[in-house]
Amino acid sequence: MNSVNSHRHAKLYRYQLPMDSGVVLRDNKLNERVGYIIQLECDGKTGFGEVAPLPGFSQEDAEQAGIQLQHELELWNHNNPQTPFDQLYPSVAFGFSMAMMELRGELNAEGNYQAAPLCTGDPDELIPVLNEMKGEKVAKVKVGLYEAIRDGMLVSLFLESIPDLTLRLDANRAWKPEKAKQFIKYIAPSLRQRISFIEEPCQKPEDSLAFAIDHGVAIAWDETLQEAVRSPEFDLSDLTGVKAVVIKPTLIGSVERCVAIIERAQQLGIKPVLSSSIESSLGLTQIARLAQQYLPDEVPGLDTIGLYQQQLAVSWPGCQLPVSTLEQQQLIWSS
Protein backbone atom coordinates (compact mmCIF):
# COMPACT_ATOMS: atom_id res chain seq x y z
CA MET A 1 0.00 0.00 0.00
CA ASN A 2 2.68 2.50 0.95
CA SER A 3 4.79 1.89 -2.11
CA VAL A 4 1.75 2.56 -4.31
CA ASN A 5 0.80 5.57 -2.23
CA SER A 6 4.25 7.13 -2.50
CA HIS A 7 3.67 7.62 -6.24
CA ARG A 8 0.32 9.33 -5.79
CA HIS A 9 -0.08 13.05 -5.22
CA ALA A 10 -3.15 15.21 -5.49
CA LYS A 11 -3.98 18.90 -5.23
CA LEU A 12 -7.33 20.59 -4.90
CA TYR A 13 -7.65 24.23 -5.94
CA ARG A 14 -10.66 26.47 -5.43
CA TYR A 15 -10.96 29.13 -8.10
CA GLN A 16 -12.95 32.36 -8.26
CA LEU A 17 -13.03 34.02 -11.66
CA PRO A 18 -14.79 37.32 -12.43
CA MET A 19 -17.55 37.13 -15.04
CA ASP A 20 -18.51 39.63 -17.68
CA SER A 21 -20.95 42.15 -16.20
CA GLY A 22 -24.07 40.99 -18.00
CA VAL A 23 -24.24 37.25 -17.22
CA VAL A 24 -27.72 36.34 -15.93
CA LEU A 25 -28.72 32.72 -15.17
CA ARG A 26 -32.36 32.02 -14.42
CA ASP A 27 -32.89 35.60 -13.22
CA ASN A 28 -29.75 35.53 -11.04
CA LYS A 29 -26.75 37.69 -11.89
CA LEU A 30 -23.52 35.70 -11.96
CA ASN A 31 -20.71 38.05 -10.91
CA GLU A 32 -18.08 35.37 -10.46
CA ARG A 33 -17.69 31.68 -11.18
CA VAL A 34 -16.61 29.51 -8.28
CA GLY A 35 -15.33 25.98 -8.84
CA TYR A 36 -12.53 23.50 -8.18
CA ILE A 37 -9.64 22.09 -10.15
CA ILE A 38 -8.22 18.72 -9.15
CA GLN A 39 -4.71 17.72 -10.11
CA LEU A 40 -3.83 14.03 -9.88
CA GLU A 41 -0.25 12.80 -10.21
CA CYS A 42 0.81 9.18 -10.45
CA ASP A 43 4.00 7.61 -11.83
CA GLY A 44 5.11 10.82 -13.53
CA LYS A 45 1.77 11.41 -15.25
CA THR A 46 -0.70 14.22 -14.47
CA GLY A 47 -4.44 14.59 -14.94
CA PHE A 48 -6.67 17.61 -14.36
CA GLY A 49 -10.40 17.87 -13.81
CA GLU A 50 -12.79 20.73 -13.19
CA VAL A 51 -15.72 20.55 -10.77
CA ALA A 52 -17.96 23.59 -11.11
CA PRO A 53 -21.64 23.21 -10.23
CA LEU A 54 -23.70 25.75 -12.17
CA PRO A 55 -25.85 27.92 -9.85
CA GLY A 56 -29.55 27.47 -10.56
CA PHE A 57 -28.95 24.38 -12.72
CA SER A 58 -26.87 21.88 -10.69
CA GLN A 59 -28.50 19.92 -7.85
CA GLU A 60 -25.40 20.52 -5.70
CA ASP A 61 -23.75 23.81 -4.78
CA ALA A 62 -20.02 24.57 -4.76
CA GLU A 63 -19.63 23.88 -1.04
CA GLN A 64 -21.31 20.47 -1.20
CA ALA A 65 -19.24 19.54 -4.24
CA GLY A 66 -16.01 20.64 -2.51
CA ILE A 67 -16.67 18.48 0.57
CA GLN A 68 -17.45 15.39 -1.52
CA LEU A 69 -14.50 16.03 -3.79
CA GLN A 70 -11.99 16.24 -0.96
CA HIS A 71 -13.30 12.96 0.47
CA GLU A 72 -12.88 11.23 -2.92
CA LEU A 73 -9.38 12.67 -3.32
CA GLU A 74 -8.36 11.26 0.07
CA LEU A 75 -9.65 7.82 -0.94
CA TRP A 76 -7.78 8.00 -4.25
CA ASN A 77 -4.62 9.26 -2.59
CA HIS A 78 -4.54 6.29 -0.20
CA ASN A 79 -5.40 3.88 -2.99
CA ASN A 80 -8.70 3.00 -1.31
CA PRO A 81 -11.79 1.96 -3.30
CA GLN A 82 -13.64 5.03 -4.51
CA THR A 83 -17.35 5.75 -4.53
CA PRO A 84 -18.89 4.69 -7.87
CA PHE A 85 -19.28 7.75 -10.10
CA ASP A 86 -23.03 7.36 -10.41
CA GLN A 87 -23.34 7.82 -6.64
CA LEU A 88 -21.50 11.17 -6.70
CA TYR A 89 -22.81 14.62 -7.56
CA PRO A 90 -22.74 15.02 -11.37
CA SER A 91 -20.14 17.82 -11.28
CA VAL A 92 -17.83 15.78 -9.01
CA ALA A 93 -18.27 12.64 -11.14
CA PHE A 94 -17.43 14.58 -14.30
CA GLY A 95 -14.36 16.38 -12.93
CA PHE A 96 -12.93 13.31 -11.24
CA SER A 97 -13.53 10.98 -14.19
CA MET A 98 -11.98 13.54 -16.54
CA ALA A 99 -8.85 13.81 -14.36
CA MET A 100 -8.59 9.99 -14.30
CA MET A 101 -9.04 9.81 -18.07
CA GLU A 102 -6.29 12.36 -18.63
CA LEU A 103 -4.04 10.61 -16.11
CA ARG A 104 -4.43 7.31 -17.99
CA GLY A 105 -3.59 9.06 -21.27
CA GLU A 106 -7.03 8.27 -22.71
CA LEU A 107 -8.06 11.84 -23.58
CA ASN A 108 -6.83 12.84 -27.02
CA ALA A 109 -4.84 16.06 -27.23
CA GLU A 110 -6.70 17.44 -30.24
CA GLY A 111 -9.87 19.45 -29.58
CA ASN A 112 -12.95 20.47 -31.56
CA TYR A 113 -12.90 24.23 -30.97
CA GLN A 114 -15.54 25.04 -33.57
CA ALA A 115 -18.24 26.89 -31.71
CA ALA A 116 -21.75 27.64 -32.90
CA PRO A 117 -21.64 31.46 -32.63
CA LEU A 118 -24.39 33.11 -30.61
CA CYS A 119 -26.48 35.50 -32.75
CA THR A 120 -27.94 38.52 -31.08
CA GLY A 121 -29.48 40.73 -33.70
CA ASP A 122 -27.62 41.61 -36.89
CA PRO A 123 -27.17 38.98 -39.64
CA ASP A 124 -24.38 41.10 -41.19
CA GLU A 125 -22.21 40.61 -38.10
CA LEU A 126 -22.64 36.85 -38.35
CA ILE A 127 -21.61 36.38 -41.98
CA PRO A 128 -17.80 36.82 -41.52
CA VAL A 129 -17.86 34.40 -38.56
CA LEU A 130 -19.76 31.79 -40.57
CA ASN A 131 -17.41 32.18 -43.55
CA GLU A 132 -14.57 30.94 -41.35
CA MET A 133 -16.44 27.79 -40.28
CA LYS A 134 -15.54 24.47 -41.85
CA GLY A 135 -18.46 22.26 -42.83
CA GLU A 136 -21.98 23.06 -41.64
CA LYS A 137 -22.71 26.75 -41.03
CA VAL A 138 -24.44 26.56 -37.69
CA ALA A 139 -25.26 29.33 -35.22
CA LYS A 140 -27.25 29.55 -32.01
CA VAL A 141 -30.03 31.92 -30.95
CA LYS A 142 -31.41 32.24 -27.42
CA VAL A 143 -35.19 32.54 -27.63
CA GLY A 144 -37.82 32.96 -24.94
CA LEU A 145 -36.17 35.96 -23.25
CA TYR A 146 -38.29 38.51 -25.14
CA GLU A 147 -41.66 38.49 -26.88
CA ALA A 148 -42.27 35.26 -28.82
CA ILE A 149 -43.28 37.26 -31.93
CA ARG A 150 -40.01 39.26 -31.85
CA ASP A 151 -38.05 35.99 -31.54
CA GLY A 152 -39.93 34.49 -34.49
CA MET A 153 -39.25 37.53 -36.68
CA LEU A 154 -35.54 37.53 -35.73
CA VAL A 155 -35.06 33.82 -36.49
CA SER A 156 -36.89 34.25 -39.79
CA LEU A 157 -34.65 37.22 -40.68
CA PHE A 158 -31.48 35.17 -40.06
CA LEU A 159 -32.71 32.21 -42.11
CA GLU A 160 -33.87 34.41 -45.01
CA SER A 161 -30.69 36.55 -45.06
CA ILE A 162 -28.21 33.63 -44.98
CA PRO A 163 -29.43 30.80 -47.25
CA ASP A 164 -26.90 28.16 -46.07
CA LEU A 165 -27.39 28.87 -42.35
CA THR A 166 -28.63 26.24 -39.90
CA LEU A 167 -29.83 27.47 -36.49
CA ARG A 168 -29.92 25.87 -33.07
CA LEU A 169 -32.43 27.59 -30.83
CA ASP A 170 -32.41 27.41 -27.05
CA ALA A 171 -35.67 28.24 -25.29
CA ASN A 172 -34.89 26.85 -21.79
CA ARG A 173 -38.55 25.88 -21.31
CA ALA A 174 -39.64 29.49 -21.62
CA TRP A 175 -42.95 29.04 -23.41
CA LYS A 176 -46.47 27.84 -22.77
CA PRO A 177 -47.90 26.13 -25.89
CA GLU A 178 -49.67 29.30 -27.14
CA LYS A 179 -46.44 31.32 -26.97
CA ALA A 180 -44.58 28.61 -28.88
CA LYS A 181 -47.30 28.78 -31.56
CA GLN A 182 -46.94 32.58 -31.79
CA PHE A 183 -43.21 32.12 -32.30
CA ILE A 184 -43.35 29.49 -35.05
CA LYS A 185 -46.11 31.33 -36.95
CA TYR A 186 -43.53 33.94 -38.02
CA ILE A 187 -41.20 31.34 -39.59
CA ALA A 188 -42.29 30.10 -42.99
CA PRO A 189 -42.63 26.28 -43.22
CA SER A 190 -39.99 26.28 -45.98
CA LEU A 191 -37.43 27.76 -43.54
CA ARG A 192 -38.22 25.44 -40.63
CA GLN A 193 -36.09 22.53 -41.84
CA ARG A 194 -33.03 24.77 -41.34
CA ILE A 195 -33.80 24.94 -37.65
CA SER A 196 -31.48 22.14 -36.57
CA PHE A 197 -33.43 21.93 -33.31
CA ILE A 198 -35.11 23.98 -30.58
CA GLU A 199 -33.93 23.01 -27.10
CA GLU A 200 -36.85 22.51 -24.72
CA PRO A 201 -39.34 24.97 -26.25
CA CYS A 202 -42.12 24.42 -23.70
CA GLN A 203 -42.33 24.23 -19.92
CA LYS A 204 -43.62 20.63 -20.12
CA PRO A 205 -41.85 17.98 -22.23
CA GLU A 206 -45.17 16.63 -23.54
CA ASP A 207 -46.07 20.13 -24.83
CA SER A 208 -42.67 20.35 -26.55
CA LEU A 209 -43.30 17.02 -28.32
CA ALA A 210 -46.79 18.11 -29.42
CA PHE A 211 -45.34 21.40 -30.71
CA ALA A 212 -42.69 19.52 -32.72
CA ILE A 213 -45.28 17.24 -34.35
CA ASP A 214 -47.84 19.99 -35.05
CA HIS A 215 -45.40 22.43 -36.65
CA GLY A 216 -42.84 20.19 -38.33
CA VAL A 217 -39.95 21.46 -36.28
CA ALA A 218 -37.15 19.47 -34.64
CA ILE A 219 -36.61 19.72 -30.88
CA ALA A 220 -33.84 18.68 -28.49
CA TRP A 221 -33.81 17.56 -24.87
CA ASP A 222 -31.53 19.36 -22.43
CA GLU A 223 -33.15 19.72 -18.98
CA THR A 224 -35.35 16.67 -19.71
CA LEU A 225 -32.20 14.58 -20.20
CA GLN A 226 -30.64 15.94 -16.98
CA GLU A 227 -33.77 14.96 -15.03
CA ALA A 228 -34.03 11.53 -16.65
CA VAL A 229 -30.43 10.48 -15.91
CA ARG A 230 -31.09 10.82 -12.17
CA SER A 231 -33.27 7.72 -12.34
CA PRO A 232 -31.57 4.33 -11.82
CA GLU A 233 -33.83 2.96 -14.61
CA PHE A 234 -32.70 5.64 -17.10
CA ASP A 235 -32.81 4.55 -20.73
CA LEU A 236 -32.45 7.09 -23.52
CA SER A 237 -34.97 5.19 -25.64
CA ASP A 238 -37.66 6.53 -23.26
CA LEU A 239 -36.86 10.04 -24.50
CA THR A 240 -37.45 9.56 -28.21
CA GLY A 241 -39.40 11.87 -30.48
CA VAL A 242 -36.57 14.37 -30.57
CA LYS A 243 -33.86 15.10 -33.11
CA ALA A 244 -31.05 15.81 -30.62
CA VAL A 245 -29.89 15.55 -27.02
CA VAL A 246 -27.71 18.24 -25.49
CA ILE A 247 -25.18 16.66 -23.13
CA LYS A 248 -23.72 19.00 -20.51
CA PRO A 249 -21.19 16.85 -18.64
CA THR A 250 -21.13 19.03 -15.49
CA LEU A 251 -24.90 18.44 -15.17
CA ILE A 252 -24.95 14.82 -16.41
CA GLY A 253 -22.05 13.10 -14.62
CA SER A 254 -18.97 11.07 -15.43
CA VAL A 255 -17.24 10.94 -18.81
CA GLU A 256 -18.26 7.25 -19.01
CA ARG A 257 -21.91 8.20 -18.56
CA CYS A 258 -21.67 10.95 -21.21
CA VAL A 259 -20.01 8.58 -23.69
CA ALA A 260 -22.68 5.93 -23.04
CA ILE A 261 -25.40 8.52 -23.83
CA ILE A 262 -23.55 9.57 -27.02
CA GLU A 263 -23.32 5.95 -28.21
CA ARG A 264 -26.94 5.16 -27.30
CA ALA A 265 -28.17 8.32 -29.04
CA GLN A 266 -26.31 7.33 -32.21
CA GLN A 267 -27.95 3.87 -32.12
CA LEU A 268 -31.36 5.53 -31.79
CA GLY A 269 -30.72 8.01 -34.62
CA ILE A 270 -30.66 11.00 -32.24
CA LYS A 271 -27.97 13.68 -32.72
CA PRO A 272 -25.81 14.02 -29.55
CA VAL A 273 -24.27 17.46 -28.93
CA LEU A 274 -21.74 18.16 -26.18
CA SER A 275 -22.31 21.51 -24.50
CA SER A 276 -20.89 23.79 -21.83
CA SER A 277 -22.16 24.60 -18.34
CA ILE A 278 -19.97 27.73 -18.33
CA GLU A 279 -16.82 25.89 -17.23
CA SER A 280 -13.53 27.79 -17.07
CA SER A 281 -11.19 27.62 -20.06
CA LEU A 282 -9.53 24.55 -18.47
CA GLY A 283 -12.74 22.50 -18.31
CA LEU A 284 -14.00 23.89 -21.59
CA THR A 285 -10.91 22.79 -23.54
CA GLN A 286 -11.29 19.29 -22.04
CA ILE A 287 -14.90 19.09 -23.27
CA ALA A 288 -13.64 20.27 -26.69
CA ARG A 289 -11.14 17.39 -26.66
CA LEU A 290 -13.89 14.97 -25.67
CA ALA A 291 -16.04 16.32 -28.52
CA GLN A 292 -13.23 15.80 -31.04
CA GLN A 293 -12.69 12.26 -29.79
CA TYR A 294 -16.33 11.11 -29.82
CA LEU A 295 -18.21 13.56 -32.07
CA PRO A 296 -15.66 14.93 -34.56
CA ASP A 297 -18.30 15.91 -37.14
CA GLU A 298 -20.65 17.68 -34.71
CA VAL A 299 -20.19 21.33 -33.72
CA PRO A 300 -20.24 21.37 -29.89
CA GLY A 301 -21.96 24.10 -27.87
CA LEU A 302 -18.85 25.54 -26.24
CA ASP A 303 -18.99 29.26 -27.05
CA THR A 304 -19.09 30.46 -23.42
CA ILE A 305 -15.52 31.64 -22.75
CA GLY A 306 -16.58 35.21 -23.64
CA LEU A 307 -18.74 35.29 -20.50
CA TYR A 308 -15.53 35.46 -18.42
CA GLN A 309 -13.06 38.24 -17.75
CA GLN A 310 -10.19 35.75 -17.29
CA GLN A 311 -9.11 32.30 -18.43
CA LEU A 312 -7.74 29.62 -16.13
CA ALA A 313 -4.45 27.72 -16.61
CA VAL A 314 -5.18 26.75 -20.24
CA SER A 315 -5.98 29.19 -23.01
CA TRP A 316 -8.97 28.65 -25.30
CA PRO A 317 -7.68 28.93 -28.89
CA GLY A 318 -8.03 32.45 -30.25
CA CYS A 319 -9.22 33.92 -26.93
CA GLN A 320 -7.44 37.12 -25.93
CA LEU A 321 -8.54 37.16 -22.28
CA PRO A 322 -5.73 37.12 -19.67
CA VAL A 323 -4.86 33.69 -18.24
CA SER A 324 -4.85 33.22 -14.48
CA THR A 325 -2.58 30.39 -13.21
CA LEU A 326 -3.59 27.62 -10.82
CA GLU A 327 -0.98 28.91 -8.38
CA GLN A 328 -2.95 32.17 -8.19
CA GLN A 329 -5.98 30.23 -6.94
CA GLN A 330 -6.59 28.96 -3.44
CA LEU A 331 -4.90 25.61 -2.74
CA ILE A 332 -7.30 24.02 -0.24
CA TRP A 333 -5.89 20.49 -0.02
CA SER A 334 -2.79 18.63 -1.18
CA SER A 335 -1.00 15.37 -0.52
Torsion, CA 103, CA 319, CA 257, CA 230, rounded to 10: 130
Burial of residue 49 (number of CB atoms within 10 Å: 0-12, 13-18, 19+) = buried
* Number of CB atoms found within 10 A of residue 125's CB: 11
The reply to whether 235 sits in an annotated binding site is no
Q: Report the amino acid identity of residue 109.
A: A
CB 287 within 8 A of CB 262: no
Residue (of 296, 292, 243, 235) closest to 264 by Cα position: 235
The reply to whether 199 sits in an annotated binding site is yes
The reply to whether 222 sits in an annotated binding site is yes
Cα(310)–Cα(320) distance, integer angstroms? 9
> Which positions ≥6 away from 315 have C-beta within 8 Å?
281, 323
Cα(10)–Cα(333) distance, integer angstroms? 8
CB 219 within 8 A of CB 209: yes
> Which positions ≥6 away from 279 have C-beta within 8 Å?
35, 50, 52, 250, 287, 304
* Helices 205-215 and 177-185: angle between axes, nearest 10 degrees: 30
Give the residue numbers annotated as catalytic, written as ranges.
Answer: 142, 248
Give the phi and the psi of residue 285 in degrees, each rounded to 5. Answer: -65, -30
* Helices 177-185 and 148-161: angle between axes, nearest 10 degrees: 30
Cα(270)–Cα(237) distance, integer angstroms? 10
> Binding site membership: which residues?
170, 199, 222
Instruction: Please report, in range form, the residues annotated as the binding site for Mg(2+).
Output: 170, 199, 222
